[in-house]
């Protein structure tokens, strides 16, 4: 499988990083993009930086590299996840504003009928946020808020992150083994 993973400036960078790590460990091709804001937030929240993403991804792009192959519908891939996704990015996709590689790739993913998972990280949500998320859902995106799931009884933050990453991978159509609701 070929997958696109984008990280935007919202809190929760470690979830996007862990998603890339897990996909690579399963042998998938991962085309990664990090926005300028994601790079800043990544340095604030984690011990990782853009260099690490460049090292582990199959191919890495900056958000202004609009010439990337997946900015065209003729590039075949199996889906895209934006983890974490800012409300700015979510709203831009919802309303067709494709002013960078992340929003362009998401727009192309939707128009080609491929899976797009948008893992928004914002709380609380106002009516404008909710309208944009509803519109994304109506366009075919999978809106996956980064919320805590406690029924797996996580013992630490890593288990909580891994559970969330497993659920996102499953939304992309990848078979994953994790503790399910019983």
Residue 4, pLDDT > 90, answer yes
- Check if the beta carbon of residue 43 is closer than 8 Å to that of residue 59: no
pLDDT of residue 178 exceeding 90, the answer is no
How far is Cα 175 from Cα 171, in angstroms, rounded to an integer?
9
List, as one string, the DSSP characters of the chain.
-EEEEEE-SSS-HHHHHHHHHHHHHTT-EEEEEE-HHHHHHHHHHSS--HHHHHHHSSEEEETT-TTSGGGSTTS--SEEEEEEE-HHHHHHHHTT---SHHHHHHHHHHHTT--EEEEE--SS--HHHHHHHHHHHHHT-EE-------TT--SSHHHHHHHHHHHHHHHTT-----PPP-
Token duo for residue 24: 């690579």
pLDDT of residue 20: 98
**Rg for the chain, CA atoms, rounded:** 15
Torsion of CA 106, 88, 49, 154, to 10 degrees: -90
pLDDT tier, 10 (very low <50, low <70, confident <90, very high otherwise): very high
Assign 152 a pLDDT band (cuts: 50, 70, 90): confident
- Reported as a single tens digit per residue, the pLDDT across 93-150 is 999 999 999 999 999 999 999 999 999 999 999 999 999 999 999 999 999 999 988 8
Q: Say if pTM beats, i.e. exceeds, 0.95.
A: yes
Which CATH number is 2-171's, of 3.40.50.1950, 1.10.150.120, 3.40.50.920, 3.40.50.150?
A: 3.40.50.1950
Report the pLDDT averaged over residues 27-39.
98
Prior bond of 84 cis (ω within 30°): yes
**pLDDT at residue 180 above 90?**
no
For 67-94, write each residue's pLDDT tens digit. 999 999 999 999 999 999 999 999 999 9
First-to-final CA distance of the chain: 30
């Amino acid at each position: 499988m070929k997958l696109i993973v984008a990280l935007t400036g919202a809190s929760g960078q470690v979830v996007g990083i862990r998603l890339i790590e897990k996909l690579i460990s399963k042998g998938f091709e991962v085309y990664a993009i990090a926005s300028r804001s994601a790079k800043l937030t990544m340095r604030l929240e984690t011990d990782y930086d853009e260099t690490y993403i460049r090292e582990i991804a199959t191919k890495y792009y900056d958000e202004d590299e609009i010439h990337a192959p997946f900015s065209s519908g003729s590039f075949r891939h199996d889906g895209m996840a934006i983890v974490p996704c800012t409300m700015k990015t979510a709203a831009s996709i919802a309303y067709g504003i494709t002013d960078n590689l992340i929003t362009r790739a998401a727009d192309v993913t939707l128009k080609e009928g491929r899976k797009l998972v948008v893992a928004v990280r914002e709380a609380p949500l106002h009516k404008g946020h909710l309208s944009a998320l509803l519109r994304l859902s109506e366009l075919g995106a999978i809106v996956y808020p980064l919320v805590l799931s406690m029924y797996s009884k996580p013992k630490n933050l890593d288990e909580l992150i891994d559970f969330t990453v497993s659920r996102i991978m499953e939304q992309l159509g990848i078979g994953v083994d994790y503790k399910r609701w019983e």
